[in-house]
Amino acid sequence: MKPSKKDRKIMIIHGPNLNMLGKREPEIYGKETLGEINAKLEELAEKLDIDVETFQSNYEGKIIEKIQSASGGSGICKGLIINPAAFTHTSIAIRDALLLLDIPIIEIHLSNIYKRESFRRKSMIADVVTAQISGFGVQGYIIALNAIAKM
Ligand code: DQA
């Protein structure tokens, strides 16, 4: 029997202020809204015959609970794509939560974090994820989903 799409679920987590995409520093983050980005990812998932769940929060604890939910129970996921936004540079707690997971994890940033202020050049999670994509704008999410679907 062909496994159901639900058995090939990828979680996509967007961190703080990414709900303001479109309005927020468009010269850095682009003009597309988070809704438009999620719609593109859902469309691609359909083509790839996988299931995606998208989630955004401005709260560190909610992001941690979502990461924890990816590792067990009925919501078990086969991969995680995460843009922790500003928490990338500060959150040991998100790093620790990611260490719970035994699935491919792709860290993604719309902007090239290495080309910006020095405080953005440090990622607390870069050394615990499978791969990092930084600087491709929205295209980075498309690259990440295509890649993780094959993993
Ligand atoms: C970001 C880069 C972070 O430094 C910043 O705080 C963000 C977005 C990006 O996608 O380029 O909110 O993660």
User: Which atom of ligand 1 has the smallest separation from the CA of 17?
Assistant: 12
Overall pTM > 0.85: yes
Fold category of 5-150 in CATH: Rossmann fold (3.40.50)
| Token output for 11 | 């979680």
Residues with Cβ within 8 Å of 149's Cβ and at least 6 positions away in sequence, in order, are 8, 10, 48, 50, 79
Q: Does the Cβ of 111 fall within 6 Å of ligand 1?
A: yes
Q: What digits encode the pLDDT tens for the residues 62-78?
A: 999 999 999 865 558 99
Say what the pLDDT of residue 140 is. Answer: 98
Q: What digits encode the pLDDT tens for the residues 82-106?
A: 999 999 999 999 999 999 999 999 9
- Asked if pLDDT for residue 138 goes beyond 70, the answer is yes
Separation of CA 76 and ligand 1 centre (Å) = 27
Q: What's the mean per-residue pLDDT of the chain?
A: 95
Q: Does the Cβ of 83 fall within 6 Å of ligand 1?
A: yes
Task: Determine which one of 14, 29, 114, 141 is catalytic.
Answer: 29
